[in-house]
Structure 1
């Protein structure tokens, strides 16, 4: 298949990639958004905290976004998975799982993050229905309910005061040694928060709605919802393969304009930030797209002068 020559290849079609495509389309740049359609937040029913889109499903969000971006003919969408990238600034070669090939002057990784496999029996069945990772996204729906927090150590101490703004009725299950200091345990006791170290035997639910957590020691904890500390990895290995620096948390290292350490390569959204909010990812995509556009325009200005 003949290679398509692009100004920008955007790998990833979530809020960051889509908003970047919108900005670049409006800037008259030739762009392809390469995305396999398997978003991390596809398990959730609703996206929250995004002005004018509060409560929209992830799928509907993408449908609306693509319809709006369709007004700009220089942007195309490729439902595929980018599997390799090589080259350098001005000429990156990208290949996909379906055999498509692209050559692009700049690359934007908006690949997001993905969850490591959920190894607690019953958690996968409730994830996105009654088990969540972010109170800002889903705390309102579980306000004043009896909840279980699955976290340990600093993760538990982060969740406890945060979640208390939505409900005071929650129990912490550390699913093994709590990794708390005695001072931290005393702080939780003062706030009346039970902590159980016994491993979780199962999470029991009806149609994805949890009703109890059962521990190995036989303890049964009734609850209406769960918040848990997920383990994340970068949504694609391509940033690392092209030489991008990666943090210990798995995020692509970028500057304030979304630039990586590799010339011509940018990253935005969850892949390059710990602000895991759809609205934050979209904003980062917009700002990074502006930086890419400025770089492209400056390069053309110098060539033509």
Structure 2
């Protein structure tokens, strides 16, 4: 007996995948969400900037979302990881780590991003507690506190004015050559922002709260929080394996509706955006789901003639 052909398979159960499942469930589409339950934001205690959910933990957010989606019986969840995909638009075959196979007309890749190993001693101890990557998500909690910003080059010159909206008490540690021009260093001096390019030896902390950043030259920079630039990679190699075009930063290249370069394959959330916020990911998931539904309905309409 042949397996059921799903309308859509959603790979990834974060805000993008969950909101897509909600929209497709309400559109009466048969959908399975495949997620292994290892979200990148699991290290954080709270999710911020999401209207009606400000301050909720990532785990509670997912629980509430799945509870709401449970009202739509055409949506199911599979606690597993998709490891390979074959086929083409209209009939994709997904194989999971546990050996499950599913067939689906359309795909939504909401695989997110993952952190590469944190190579600064002590950073893993404070990540998600007093060290963060996004001031829109966690800047309020560290407002007016003495902070260290670990960043360099052109991105640093974007981040420095940004973080100044939350505190004017911050020091920059570039953990090696700063990759700045003389004009950029002068700009930081005019704003009285201390700049250190000595490599970071370690981060000292107490119960996850950073106390100081110790540099290789012996300098100790006291602080109560950190913002750093993470090294990120796609949460799965499936976009590349399927032949999806990628952007210059390694995310899936999509059009305004979430379509990738591969027919029948969509992407949403952090895997396809620089806007690494839960509410932005959810919005992208909702839009991509609407486009998937439109495509499915148009195809069914054509077949019925």
TM-score (norm 2): 0.99
The answer as to whether partners of 1:4 and 1:101 remain within 8 angstroms in 2 is: no
Deviation at 1:159, TM superposition (A): 1.3
1:118-175 Cα shifts (integer Å, max 9, x gaps)? 1000011110000000000000000000000000111211111000000000000000
Offset, 1:3: 3.6
Alignment length (residue pairs): 305
**CA drift at 1:236:** 0.5
Structure 1 runs (4+) greater than 3 angstroms displaced: 1-4
Distance, in Å, in 2 between the alignment partners of 1:68 and 1:88 is 31
CA offsets 1:71-123 (integer angstroms, 9 cap, x no match): 00000010100000010000000000011110000000000111111100001
Deviation at 1:4, TM superposition (A): 4.0
Separation of aligned partners in 2, 1:270 and 1:126: 23
Task: Give the structure-1-normalised TM-score.
Answer: 0.99
Q: Give how far 1:250 is off.
A: 1.1
Match of 2:273? Answer: 273
Correspondence for 2:46:
46
Distance 1:155 1:266 in 2: 29
Matches within 5 A, 1:6-17: 6-17=6-17
2:74 maps to what in 1? 74
Write the distance in 2 (CA, Å) between the matches of 1:131 and 1:158.
19
Kept after mapping to 2: 8 A contact 1:69/1:75: yes
Q: Which runs of 5+ in 2 are unaligned?
A: none
CA distance in 1, matches of 2:61, 2:32: 19
Deviation by residue 1:3-61 (Cα, 9 ceiling, x = unmatched): 44210000000000000000000000000000011001010000000000000000000
How far apart, CA to CA, are the structure 2 residues paired with 1:4 and 1:134?
42
Quick check: 1:298 aligned with 2:298?
yes
Q: Secondary structure at the match of 1:203?
A: strand
Equivalent pair of 1:89/1:263 in contact (CA under 8 Å) = yes
Listed as ranges, the matches of 1:31-42 within 5 Å are 31-42=31-42
Q: 2: distance between equivalents of 1:257 and 1:160?
A: 33
Looking at structure 1, the residues matched to 259 and 112 of structure 2 have their Cα atoms a distance apart, in angstroms, of 16
TM alignment of 1:226-265, pairs within 5 A? 226-265=226-265
2-structure distance, mates of 1:124, 1:23: 36
Deviation, 1:2, is 6.9
1:285 aligns with 2:285: yes
**Alpha-carbon distance in 2 for matches of 1:209, 1:97:** 37
Q: Deviations over 1:198-228 (max 9, x none)?
A: 0000001111110000000000000000000
Which residue pairs with 1:179 in the alignment?
179
Distance, in Å, in 2 between the alignment partners of 1:4 and 1:128 is 41
SS, match of residue 240 in structure 1: helix
Q: Which residue of 1 aligns with 2:21?
A: 21
- Counterpart mapping for 1:26-175 below 5 A: 26-175=26-175
Unaligned runs of 5+ in 1: none
* Equivalent position SS for 2:98: coil
CA distance in 1, matches of 2:131, 2:100: 38
Partner SS for 2:103: strand
> For the aligned residues, what is the CA RMSD?
0.9
